[in-house]
Amino acid sequence: MKIIISGCGKIGRTILKNLANEGHDIVAIDTNPDVITELTNIYDVMGVCGNGTDSDVLQEAGVSDAQLVASFTNSDELNMLTCFLAKKLGAAHTIARIRNPEYNDKSLAFMKQQLEISFTVNPELMAAREIFNILQLPSAVNVETFSVRNFEMIELKLKADSALDNLKISDLRGKYKSKYLICAVQRGENAYIPDGNFVLKSGDKIGICATPTEILKLMREMGVQQNPAKKIMILGGGSTAYYLAKQLSSLNNLVIIIEKSSEVCAKLCEAFPKAVVVNGDGTNQEVLIEEGVGVIDALVSLTGMDEQNILMSAYAQNKGVPKVITKINRSVLVPMADSWGLDTIITPKKIVSDVILKYVRALENSQDSSVETLYRLMDDKVEALEFIVKEGLDFLGVPFKELKMKSNILIAGIIRDRKTIIPSGEDMLLAGDKVVVLAANQRINNLSDIKG
């Protein structure tokens, strides 16, 4: 598929890398010639130096036969204009990054329609939603929801004293009565789709699929359930903090925001009159102590500097804060944060990249299924995909026990008529089902790819 990416900063570069790795024909557009030189040297992509709002630049990039044009510059307006021009010049589909809260309200649908934008992404809003989901289930290091919202996958880190240490997965059924499936395990650098003989170890990161109710039941049985966070401290008052505070305030949580800019503080006070907004430096330990870091349920570090987020998260963890969430943009810093025990890390560019990959694979799909959701888990070693099953699938109605599948592939859940099924060998797929499939160390585009 021919894809043009305009704006190759952190997010644009991440998306370019992932799409290039999947074999797409990529053309990069950026105003910085050094960026274009670097990208064309590292990746198998073409490059055009210029502005995506320049029709000559778009035509040089081959816009007329592009299946997708995506614009990720720092300007919402430039992104929208690039998509508008690309569509007029023949691009089949367009994606724009639109971050401003003023655009992400009722006017967004109108703008998309008038400018013929196929899809919009807002990294800060997406990150805020992911953080919000984790704060509702603090025991998890990650929470992924699927389209009908009655099926979830959570990631848990097994601590040194975990009740699951040295247990076979097949033995867990007798120990815990909840309806769940351990669908993925990461141990060190390796990821597995485990079978019943797999023995869990302390330090493993495990993926569990179930309905939200069953997940809560399981975590209570395991003795690791934490109540949803009610008193949350947020360091940094940028767009992600704004969107997160908006969601948390709707549940009447106590939200404390610490922000250095007095101008930003004034806007936050106006937007969230019930929140506690502190004009101060969130990296100052005295400020954190004064604002009650010792009695909060969760701390979310969202400043613009990864190093500050890591240091203050480590400080909060040492202070005994029950849940600490750290935003990190630079992937190279994630292993360091993880080595310090900061296991709940949010990376906005990864969240957006997953969404774009899902969109592109949906455009590529065959007639037998379509991608609804895509998540990359376990440090990107495992993919969880949700498909809608269509009539053309050649193993409709075939019990799973009779279906030969590739190794490291697992059918983790079926949603049929809004009911969730944790599948057994007797179950089968029917047209209209939604099915969640996990794949380790491989890529699948559609359901036909799972057959061995």
Task: Give the rounded percent of residues in the chain with a pLDDT score beyond 70.
Answer: 99
Q: What is the CATH number of the domain that holds 435?
A: 3.30.70.1450
Query: Are 151 and 107 in the same domain?
Result: no
Task: Tell whether 132 is covered by a domain.
Answer: no
pLDDT number for residue 101: 79
Task: Tell whether 383 is covered by a domain.
Answer: yes
Task: Tell whether 131 is covered by a domain.
Answer: no
pLDDT number for residue 105: 72
pLDDT number for residue 202: 92
Task: Tell whether 338 is covered by a domain.
Answer: no
Query: Are 359 and 264 in the same domain?
Result: no
| 283 close to 167: Cβ distance less than 8 angstroms | no
Pick the closest to residue 410 from 393, 395, 425, 390 (CA basis).
Answer: 425
Query: Are 395 and 301 in the same domain?
Result: no
Query: Are 415 and 310 in the same domain?
Result: no
Query: Are 8 and 38 in the same domain?
Result: yes
Query: Are 287 and 312 in the same domain?
Result: yes
Query: Are 392 and 359 in the same domain?
Result: yes
Task: Tell whether 366 is covered by a domain.
Answer: yes
Number of domains in the chain: 4
Query: Are 8 and 110 in the same domain?
Result: yes
Task: Tell whether 127 is covered by a domain.
Answer: no
Structure-token pair, residue 289: 């102590």
The residue from 169, 197, 222 where one domain ends is 222
What contacts 218, CB < 8 A, 6 or more positions away?
176, 178, 180, 208, 210
Per-residue pLDDT of the chain (452 residues; tens, 9 = 90+): 999 999 999 999 999 999 999 999 999 999 999 999 999 999 999 999 999 999 999 999 999 999 999 999 999 999 999 999 999 999 999 999 998 877 777 788 888 889 999 999 999 999 999 999 999 999 999 999 887 678 999 999 998 888 889 999 999 878 888 889 999 999 988 999 999 999 999 999 999 999 999 999 998 888 888 889 999 999 999 999 999 999 999 998 999 999 999 999 999 999 999 999 999 999 999 999 999 999 999 999 999 999 999 999 999 999 999 999 999 999 899 988 988 989 899 999 999 999 999 899 888 775 566 788 889 888 888 999 999 998 888 899 999 999 999 999 999 999 998 889 999 999 999 999 999 999 998 888 888 899 88
Q: What is the CATH number of the domain that holds 238?
A: 3.40.50.720
Task: Tell whether 343 is covered by a domain.
Answer: no
Strand partners, 241: none
State the residue for tokens 């953080």.
Answer: 131
Query: Are 198 and 256 in the same domain?
Result: no
Q: Is the dihedral of CA 401, 403, 407, 408 positive or negative?
A: negative
Domain hosting residue 47, numbered range: 2-121
State the residue for tokens 């590739």.
Answer: 406
DSSP state of 402: G
The residue from 167, 200, 222 where one domain ends is 222
Structure-token pair, residue 307: 């190093």
Task: Tell whether 404 is covered by a domain.
Answer: yes
Query: Are 375 and 395 in the same domain?
Result: yes
Q: How far apart are the first and last CA of the chain?
A: 26
Query: Are 35 and 109 in the same domain?
Result: yes
Amino acid, res. 104: N
Rounded Cα gap, residues 263 and 242, in angstroms = 14
Query: Are 37 and 146 in the same domain?
Result: no
